Amino acid sequence: MTTIRNKCCICDNKLDNIIAFEKYPISFSITNNNKYTFEDLIFTECIKCKTIQIKKLIDLKILYDKPHNNNIIGKTWIEHFQDFSSMINKFKKYNDNVLEIGSPTDKIERYINNYLHWILMDPNCEKYPKKNIQNINEFFSEKSTFNCKFDTIIHSHLLEHLYEPKTMLLKMSEILAEDGSIFISIPNLHSYSFEILFLGMHFEHTYFINEINILYLCSICKLEIVNKQYYKKHSIFYQLKKTNQPTTISISLLNEFNLGYKLLLLDKINEMKDMINNINITINNNKNTYIFGCHSNTQSMLYFGLNRKNIKYILDNDSTKWDKQLYGYDLVCSSPEIIKDELNVIVICNIGSYNYEVKKQLLEINNLITVI
C-alpha cells in the first residue's frame, strides 16, 4: 500500500529524516463508514537542495479512490479559476487540442474560448455528452499514450500531488507540440507555510513546491517560464514552453532558498500544540462548539489533541460533504447554516488564507457567535 521515497524528487539526492507522526490518517476525504487506514507521516529533508518532503507514499488508487475537489466552493476558488482561465485564454492558441490533467470536471473548460478538442484525464472524470470533451479515466503517467501532440496542456493544483514531478513534466513536454504551452496553477506554499501546519504538506502534498523548485524543475526538463501571474497569496500561474536553451539553476541556489523551511516546519508544529491547548481551555465548558473546514486542517487539529467531545459538527460549504464523516474521526459534517439560530456558539476557524472570508460568512449567518 505504501512505497518509500528514497531520494529527493527534485534533485535525486539523499533524504534525512526530520520528524515522524505515528498512525496519521492517510486521507482527508469524507466517508460514510469507519474504515480508516493510518500510516506514519514522516517528514524528510534533502541533504543538497533542502526541499522538505514526505517519506511514505500512499498507493494512488487508495489515496484517490473517491472523487474530490469536483466543485468550485467559495469566492476565493471561483475567482481562482476565473483568473487562471483568463490567463489561458490570453496566451493559448486558437482552435487548439487541449489536455487537462487531474481535474474530473469542467471547472476550467467552462471558461475557455475557441478550442477544437478537450480531453479530461483523471480517474474520476465526469461525462459531458453535450460538450466536445473526451474522458480518459486514468492517472497521467510516463506510460500514458495519446494519438496526437497537444497544443495546450493544463493542470491546476496537480503538480504538488505528483510523486515524481520531474518525470511527469518530462512526459508533458514529450506530448506537447513544439510551439505549444503548458499552463500550470500551483498553491503558493511559501505563503501558506506561515499560516498552516506542515507547510501545507500531507499524504497528498508530498513535497514542498515553491518558486525556486519550479525554476529548477523547468530547467532540467527544458521548459521555460514565459508568463507568470500571482493570484492573491493563494496561487501562482505559469505558462511554460519548450526551449533548447534552458536557464541553468544550481543546487546551491535551491539550498539557499529552501534552507529555512525545516525550522519553520518544527516551529509551526509547536505553535499548533500550544494553540490546541488554548482552544481546549476555551471550549472546555461549551457544548455548542463547531469547527469549520472538513479538510486537512481540522484533521491535524484533531490528531494533535483537540477535544472533540464538545464539538457538535464540522461546518463546510461543500454540500457533497454534508452528513458524512471526516476520514479518521467520527465527527459529521454539516452546513454552516446549522448555527443560524443557535446561542452561545463557538466556531473554531483555522483555515489559513481562507480565515477572513469564512469568518465574514459565519458572522453573517449568526452575528452572536464567537470565532476562535
Map 54-107 to HEC letters: ECEEECHHHHCCCCCCCCCCCHHHHHHHHHHHHHHHHHCCCCEEEEEECCCCCC
Residue 222 and residue 190 in one domain:
yes
Q: How confident is the model at residue 62 (pLDDT cuts 50, 70, 90)?
A: very high
Residues 229-285 pLDDT 10s = 999 999 999 999 999 999 999 999 999 999 999 999 999 999 999 999 999 999 998
- Position 70 scores a pLDDT of 66
The count of domains in the chain is 3
In this structure, is residue 351 part of a structural domain? yes
Higher pLDDT, 71 or 361: 361
- Given 39, 63, 87, the domain boundary residue is 63
Which three cell numbers, joined as nine digits, stand for 193?
Answer: 507555510
Residues 6+ apart with CB under 8 A from 127: 135
Instruction: Tell me what the mean pLDDT of segment 106-131 comes to.
Output: 93
Residue 184 and residue 82 in one domain:
yes
Q: How confident is the model at residue 71 (pLDDT cuts 50, 70, 90)?
A: confident
Residue 129 and residue 99 in one domain:
yes
Residue 362 sits in which domain range? 280-371
Residue 211 and residue 134 in one domain:
yes
In this structure, is residue 184 part of a structural domain? yes
- Given 43, 63, 83, the domain boundary residue is 63
Euclidean distance between CA atoms 225 and 212, whole angstroms? 12
Instruction: Tell me what the mean pLDDT of segment 212-224 comes to.
Output: 97
Residue 151 and residue 247 in one domain:
yes
Q: How confident is the model at residue 74 (pLDDT cuts 50, 70, 90)?
A: confident
Return the CATH number at 328: 3.40.50.720
Residue 245 and residue 288 in one domain:
no
Neighbour count for residue 273 (Cβ, 10 Å): 11
Is residue 170 scored above 70 in pLDDT? yes
Residue 215 and residue 247 in one domain:
yes
Alpha-carbon distances of 18 from 9, 47, 97, 203, 265, rounded to whole Å? 16, 11, 44, 16, 10
Q: How confident is the model at residue 34 (pLDDT cuts 50, 70, 90)?
A: confident
Residue 111 and residue 221 in one domain:
yes
Euclidean distance between CA atoms 141 and 164, whole angstroms? 10
Higher pLDDT, 8 or 74: 8
In this structure, is residue 271 part of a structural domain? no
What percentage of residues in the chain have a pLDDT greater than 70?
99
Residue 79 and residue 45 in one domain:
no
Q: How confident is the model at residue 119 (pLDDT cuts 50, 70, 90)?
A: very high
Residue 81 and residue 58 in one domain:
no
In this structure, is residue 145 part of a structural domain? yes
Which three cell numbers, joined as nine digits, stand for 103?
Answer: 481535474
The predicted model scores a pTM of 0.93
Is residue 68 scored above 70 in pLDDT? no
In this structure, is residue 274 part of a structural domain? no
- Position 69 scores a pLDDT of 66
Residue 230 and residue 293 in one domain:
no
- Given 63, 93, 108, the domain boundary residue is 63
In this structure, is residue 153 part of a structural domain? yes
Return the CATH number at 153: 3.40.50.150
Residue 248 and residue 112 in one domain:
yes
Residues 281-324 pLDDT 10s = 999 989 899 999 999 999 999 999 999 999 999 999 999 999 99
- Position 352 scores a pLDDT of 83
In this structure, is residue 247 part of a structural domain? yes
Is residue 362 scored above 70 in pLDDT? yes
